[in-house]
Structures are given as C-alpha cells and as structure tokens.
C-alpha cells in the first residue's frame, strides 16, 4: 500500500481533496500524467492540478497556479466537482459535474495554451432533459470510441433509480459540447442491479492497445462496525472491456487479462450434456471461483447455478426464459445484510433482448468472497455485493 498521492495542505483544499482524473499530453502536461482534482475549502469547491515529482508516480506536487478554476460558474448549484479532461479537434477541454435549474449537468471549460488558463463562463457540456436522469451529476467522463463516436458517462444523484451509472453515445461538436444520438440515457449495469447506489459506480476508463477498459467503485453499504469486523470497506469491480454495437449499446465482457488469474488445480468441465435436475461442480469449491457456462435456451425451464452452498444456505443464479428474467437470489444466504429494503437479497432484471428457444445464453461469473461480477452473453453486466457471511 503506497502513501497518499495528494492530500489537503492548502487553503483551497483544506476541507478535502476529492475526485477527478489523470490526463497525459505532451502539450498540456509536458508528457507526464497529471492529476486534476476537486479541492474543497469551507465555502466552495475549486479545480486543481498536481504533477508527479518522479517517474514512479509515488510523490506528487501541486502546481503553483492552483486553483486552475477557482469556483463554480455563476448560475449553477453549489455542488461543483469531479473534473475530467479530454482533447477534441486539437483543443483541450474539461467537464465538471454539477446541477443547473434542478437538473444534472456537466460544465465545459476550454484551455487557452497562450495564457495557460481554463475558461469558466458557465457553458454546459450537456444537461439532463429530466429529473428522472438525476438532479445532480457526479463523476462525468467522456471517452473516444471507434467511428468518431464518444461515450459520455455520469453517476446520478436523485434520479428515478437513485444513484446509478448512465451513459449516452454521440459526437463532440466544434465548440466542445456534446450531442447524443438520443437524449434518453442507458444504464451501465443490467436493469435494477445498479440502482440505489448498488453495483458499479463512477467508472474509471482507460484505453490501451485498442481496448477500452473500465473499473468502478462498488460500495458495500455496511455500517462502520461491520467494516471494522471484516477489515475492509468498499472495493472495486473486476475490470471490464467495453465496446459498442451497431445500435450504440454498450457491450461488456471481462477484461481479457483476468484470464491470467486462473488456477486450474481445482477445475470442473462439462460440455454437450443434457442436465435434468442438478449436477455437482466438484471438485470446485470455496469463495474465489470463476464459472463460465453456456446454455441452450428452452421454452420454459429455468437454468443456472447454485453457489456458496453451505448446508441449507446457498445463492441461486439463474435465467427464466418464460419471463425473460435474470435472477440472483441470496435470500437463503447467511450473510451480513447490506441491502435491506432495497433488494433484501433478491436481484431480478429483465434482459433487454430476449434469446429465442434454441439460442444460447452464457453466464460468466466471478466470485471473490463478498463480490460477484456477472457477465451475460458478453453484453450485459451486473455486480452483487454479498456483504460476506459472518463466518468469513
């Protein structure tokens, strides 16, 4: 565990050093990764910058011109945070999460290479058309994708499904603003799996060797006493590979490098087999398991897996063709309950596209003690925090 990279030391960030991004460019940051972050005093938020002291990226120094944006633009809510820097048409821009007139929004700031300053005139990069998509947006990100498309991501506060991660696909205009192909956003997590602050939130995205890789925060929502008992609080998702289909839907699958974590000393394999009732996965056991199963869909019978079985306690993961419903049922699991009154152990979502009888459905599941990352047909993804059992 390394030391803290950037912490509160000056008047402008004395209350806290909050989220932002890392950006690297030969012109803007002299070829070195720089941190752009939210600094908070006891009156307002500002945007600030830090640069590495050495190539190992362990020690960082705040730039002398901080704050690079001293306060929120006029006409916006007091909540103004989470800068994200991008480059388009040879210009550098920054977007920051905020709210305007009660609707979630992201401001737009343009860099002037001559004066080395950022604009702060209140221009809006993009704004929600409905309170259902959030009354405030945090952690905005804008990512270039193939075919001159851009993927815009935000985490909502106050939307129809509470805190969740939404996305739009569109283009960047000549003035740096965003034009989505549709004003109606889509969910990163499968259906309700990501609602009310569960599932993957505030994704961090990087692109390497032509692959778009995302990893997100997964809150555990346990009281502090349980965090002390377990020895951890919150965690990150498994890294995902993101692509877009022809209809601009986000396709998600496990990052290919996760295969390097596989251990095959205790493995089970089965193919081309009709299963009636249940089939044991022995010798596979324990709480760090990868399951990759492809089923031929029938007209009615549900299918899937029982995992973490301990006597009469287990979790069921299954798909029901008749209702087109994907379910994770942890109601029977002995655990520290973290989702009472939201899910209470029962997670169910309708698949956006129903497979026909005779087609296949693939469940790719990663279980690591308290977290379960689920990928369906390399299209949909969802995360369940099990708030691990008291026996762990």
Coil/strand/helix, residue 361: strand
pLDDT of residue 192: 87
Residue 86 tokens read as: 């991008």
pLDDT of residue 390: 53
Q: Using only C-alpha atoms, what is the Rg of the chain?
A: 23
Instruction: Spell out the per-residue pLDDT of the chain, length 392, in tens.
Output: 899 999 999 999 999 999 999 999 999 999 999 999 999 999 999 999 999 999 999 999 999 999 999 999 998 887 899 999 999 999 999 999 999 999 999 999 999 999 999 999 999 999 999 999 999 999 999 999 999 999 999 999 999 999 999 999 999 999 999 999 999 999 999 998 999 999 999 999 999 999 999 999 999 999 999 999 888 889 999 999 999 999 999 999 999 999 998 887 788 999 998 888 888 988 988 888 999 999 999 877 899 999 988 888 889 999 999 999 999 999 988 888 899 888 999 999 999 999 999 999 999 999 998 899 999 999 999 999 876 655 44
pLDDT of residue 312: 83
Ramachandran class of 125: left when φ > 0, alpha when ψ lies in -120 to 50, beta otherwise: alpha
Answer whether 0.85 is exceeded by the pTM. Answer: yes
Cβ contact 254:364 at 8 Å: yes
Q: From 330, 326, 332, select the one nearest 385 (Cα to Cα).
A: 330
Chain centroid offset of residue 63 CA: 29
286-312 in b/e form (b: 16+ CB < 10 A) is eeebbbeeebebeeeeebbbebbeeee
147-179 in b/e form (b: 16+ CB < 10 A) is eeebbbbbbbbbbebebbbbbbbbebeeebbbe
Q: How many CA atoms lie within 13 A of 136 on its CB side?
A: 13
pLDDT of residue 256: 94
- Cβ atoms within 10 Å, residue 354: 13
> End-to-end CA distance of the chain, in Å?
23
Beta strands in 128-249 (DSSP E): 136-145, 149-157, 165-172, 178-180, 186-187, 201-208, 211-218, 235-236, 240-244
Phi and psi for 33 in degrees, rounded to 5? -65, 130
Q: From 111, 114, 248, select the one nearest 170 (Cα to Cα).
A: 248
Angle at alpha carbon of residue 379, lines to 258 and 346, rounded to 5°: 90
Question: Looking only at Cα atoms, what is the longest distance across the chain?
Answer: 72
CA–CA distance, 302 with 322 (Å, rounded to integer): 8
Residue 256 tokens read as: 């290919």
Chain centroid offset of residue 313 CA: 30
Cβ contact 218:203 at 8 Å: no
Residues 170/174/178/181 CA torsion (nearest 10 deg): -30
CA–CA distance, 344 with 334 (Å, rounded to integer): 12
- Cβ atoms within 10 Å, residue 16: 14
Enumerate residues 6+ apart whose C-beta is below 8 A from 175.
none
Cβ contact 212:145 at 8 Å: yes
């Amino acid at each position: 565990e390394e030391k803290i990279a950037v912490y509160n030391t000056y008047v402008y960030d004395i209350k806290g050093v909050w989220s932002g991004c890392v950006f690297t460019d030969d012109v803007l940051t002299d070829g070195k990764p720089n941190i752009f972050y939210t600094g908070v005093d006891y009156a307002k938020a500002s945007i600030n910058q830090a640069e590495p002291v050495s190539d190992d990226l362990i020690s960082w120094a705040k730039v002398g011109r901080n704050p690079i944006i001293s306060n929120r633009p006029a006409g916006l809510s007091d909540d103004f945070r989470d800068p994200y820097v991008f480059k388009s048409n040879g210009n550098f821009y920054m977007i920051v999460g905020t709210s305007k007139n009660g609707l979630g929004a992201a401001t737009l700031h343009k860099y002037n290479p001559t004066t080395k300053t950022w604009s702060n005139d209140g221009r809006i990069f993009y704004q929600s058309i409905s309170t259902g998509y959030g009354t405030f947006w945090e952690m905005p990100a804008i990512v270039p994708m193939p075919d001159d498309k851009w993927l815009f991501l935000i985490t909502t506060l106050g939307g129809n499904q509470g805190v969740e991660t939404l996305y739009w696909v569109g283009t960047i205009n000549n003035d740096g603003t965003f034009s989505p192909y549709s004003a109606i956003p889509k969910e990163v997590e499968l259906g309700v799996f990501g609602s009310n602050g569960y599932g993957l939130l505030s994704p961090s995205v990087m692109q390497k060797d032509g692959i778009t890789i995302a990893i997100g925060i997964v809150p555990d929502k346990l009281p502090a006493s349980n965090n002390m008992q377990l020895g951890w609080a919150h965690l990150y998702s498994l890294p995902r590979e993101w692509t877009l289909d022809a209809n601009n839907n986000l396709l998600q699958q496990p990052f290919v490098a996760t295969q390097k974590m596989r251990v095959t000393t205790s493995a089970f394999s089965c193919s081309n087999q009709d299963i009636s009732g249940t089939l044991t996965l022995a010798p596979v056991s324990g709480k760090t398991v990868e399951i990759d199963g492809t089923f031929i869909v029938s007209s009615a019978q549900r299918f899937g897996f029982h995992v973490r079985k301990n006597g009469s306690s287990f979790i069921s993961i299954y798909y029901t063709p008749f209702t087109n419903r994907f379910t994770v049922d942890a109601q029977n699991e002995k655990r520290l309950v973290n989702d009472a009154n939201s899910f209470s152990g029962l997670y169910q979502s309708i698949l956006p596209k129903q497979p026909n009888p005779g087609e296949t459905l693939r469940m790719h599941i990663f279980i690591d003690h308290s977290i379960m990352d689920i990928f369906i047909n390399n299209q949909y993804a969802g995360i369940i925090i099990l708030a691990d059992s008291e026996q762990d």
